[in-house]
Amino acid sequence: MKTTKSFFLSVCIALILAGIVLAAGCVSNTAPEKSEITASPTPTPTSEVVVQTPEMTEVPTTIVTTSTLVPTKTTSLSNGLTITYPIDWELKESEDTAMRDYGRVTTNIANLYSPTYAYGDYIAFSIDVDPDKVSDPDQYFNLATVAVQKVYGTIEITHHTQTGNGLQGIHWCTDCNHYNLEFKTKTENRWYHFATVDGMFYIVTVKNPDLNYMQVYEMLKSVTLTYNPTSEKHR
């Protein structure tokens, strides 16, 4: 009886030991559960691009007039005229009488030429005197305009005005009537100025005034006429 109990006890112990061993094997063979770690992406440093705008240097604008840029000289011409012009211009006095492009036979008393600009262009400033007295200055001016159109063909007239007595800024004379004709041909600009006193016409023609309007205007403004009409004496 004791033997049976001992055997039974031995079997129980053996089963218990076998269960323990088996349990230990299961635990050791079970792979540990992996912890999934999500790595946050490493932030890429942002390179801040700084665009440097170059500092703008303001260029001073200088308006230069004839009197400050180029020294001038004043010359007395025939027929009681004087003119002030830049010293780098060339003056050629003349007594040439011929038919002009404005349709009148006049005497040229002076031609002034500017220095040569780009492409060989230059300004030609001419002063003529009409020896014949005129009774209708308005008609004279209108006929001169028609003659210019015949000579140059198709032209664009930009100014065609009668400015009346004593044109402000031009010191020809207080009793002069003044007329302006400005036009463009196919190749150049021209500016004609007519002044009449006591029936006599004085004409300034300018070729290419656009090359230096300031100098041309200052020269035209400088022209002074000293005219003393003589009256017939009686006893």
| pLDDT per residue as tens digits for the range 20-56 | 655 555 444 444 444 444 444 554 544 444 434 334 3
Does residue 176 register a pLDDT over 70? yes
Does residue 73 register a pLDDT over 80? yes
Low-confidence winner among 16-30, 77-91, 131-145, 151-165 (lowest mean pLDDT): 16-30
Domain containing 137 equals: 90-163+173-199
**Can you read off the two tokens belonging to residue 7?**
């055997």
Beta strand pairing call for 72-76 and 156-165 = unpaired
Does residue 104 register a pLDDT over 60? yes
- Residue 47 confidence (pLDDT): 42
Low-confidence winner among 28-42, 76-90, 161-175, 207-221 (lowest mean pLDDT): 28-42
Residue 97 in domain: yes
End-to-end CA distance of the chain: 198
- Residue 79 confidence (pLDDT): 85
- Residue 102 confidence (pLDDT): 97
The residue ranking higher by pLDDT, 184 or 197, is 184
Residue 5 in domain: no
- Residue 55 confidence (pLDDT): 45
- Residue 20 confidence (pLDDT): 60
- Residue 66 confidence (pLDDT): 42
* Alpha-carbon torsion angle 156, 157, 159, 162, nearest 10: 180
Mean pLDDT of 142-147: 95
Residue 138 in domain: yes
- Residue 198 confidence (pLDDT): 82
Residue 131 in domain: yes
Domain count, the chain: 1
- Residue 166 confidence (pLDDT): 46
Mean pLDDT of 122-140: 94
- The segment with the largest mean pLDDT, out of 94-98, 193-197, 198-202, is 94-98
Within 13 Å of residue 58, how many CA atoms lie on the same side as its CB? Answer: 3
In terms of Cβ atoms closer than 10 Å to its own Cβ (0-12, 13-18, 19+), residue 214 is middle
Residue 105 in domain: yes
DSSP result, 121-160: ---EEEEEEE-S--S-HHHHHHHHHHHHHHHHSS-EEEEE
Mean pLDDT of 177-202: 90
Residue 51 in domain: no
- Tell the residue number behind the tokens 């035209």, with chain if given: 220
Strands (DSSP E) contained in 23-103 are 72-76, 81-86, 90-99
Mean pLDDT of 162-175: 56
CB atoms within 10 A of CB 213: 13
Residue 195 in domain: yes
Residue 144 in domain: yes
